[in-house]
Amino acid sequence: MIQFDNLSQEAPYLVFKDKYNQSLKANQKAIEATCISSYSSKKKEVNGRYVNLKFVNGRKFIFFSNYKSPKSQEFTQHNQITASLYWSKTNTQIRMKAYIEQTSSEFNKNYFAQRDKKKNALAISSHQSSPITSYEALQKNYELSLIESNLTECPEYWGGYSFTPYYFEFWVGHESRLNKRETYELNNGKWIHGFLQA
């Protein structure tokens, strides 16, 4: 699930919350799964991966990651991303274009201290996306972390990312393929509302 705090009352955020509530009511699984696409200026390629969207605070959407991971390096190289969610129970897709930045150290520490300790052990022990000799080696590192690490102390290389959208597209599919595509684009501080052809 996604936690909403002090949600912006601007139109696209209210539409997002309404679509979320509909899908939650329909028992959508993995409702927080969000595909984040980023650009590597060094490799000149686009990469996408799913993350767990944890919070929407005001205008900011927040997930967590290892700050030394490839995606974190790409966020540093190019601070614009796209984020996509698909909720099959309501046949709804939400696409956002956004600017991304790290959350504060204080925010990270507070959240980490409240997390499940087994999840913290994995965050401490795993050098995300780095090569390793075997899955068994990963398991061993994790088990050692469970025993030896301070599981409430947030490591410097782990924390949150918040992205602030400047574009939303809400897509609702229909069997006739007469799909509804509704957009909001930020222009000089105002959200411009529109529709796209199916």
3-state secondary structure of 165: strand
> What mean pLDDT comes out for the span 103-121?
95
Q: Is the dihedral of CA 46, 41, 59, 154 positive or negative?
A: positive
Q: Is residue 182 part of a domain?
A: yes
> What mean pLDDT comes out for the span 57-61?
98
Q: Is residue 101 part of a domain?
A: yes
Predicted local confidence at residue 41, as pLDDT: 93
Q: Is residue 138 part of a domain?
A: no
Q: What CATH number did the domain enclosing 69 receive?
A: 2.30.110.10
DSSP 22-86: HHHHTT-TTTTEEEEEEEETTTTEEEEEEEE--EEETTEEEEEEETTSHHHHHHHH--EEEEEEE
Q: What would the two tokens of residue 182 be?
A: 């509704």
- Of 41-50, 89-98, 130-139, 156-165, the range with the lowest mean pLDDT is 130-139
In whole angstroms, give the CA distance from residue 75 to residue 122: 22
Cβ-based burial of 134 (10 A; exposed 0-12, middle 13-18, buried ≥19) = exposed
Q: Is residue 175 part of a domain?
A: yes
Q: Is residue 125 part of a domain?
A: no
CB 127 within 8 A of CB 145: no
pLDDT digits (tens, 9 = 90+) for 171-182: 999 988 899 999
Q: Give the total number of structural domains in the chain.
A: 1
Q: Is residue 62 part of a domain?
A: yes
Predicted local confidence at residue 127, as pLDDT: 83
pTM: 0.93
DSSP state, 10?
A: S
Q: Is residue 19 part of a domain?
A: yes
Inter-CA distances, 19 with 77, 91, 118, 176, Å: 32, 10, 32, 21
- Quote the domain boundaries for residue 172: 3-115+156-196
Model confidence band, residue 130 (pLDDT cutoffs 50, 70, 90): confident
Predicted local confidence at residue 175, as pLDDT: 86
Q: Is residue 109 part of a domain?
A: yes
Residue of higher predicted confidence among 168 and 140: 168
CB 109 within 8 A of CB 154: yes
Query: Element (H or E) spanning 194, and its range?
Result: strand 190-196
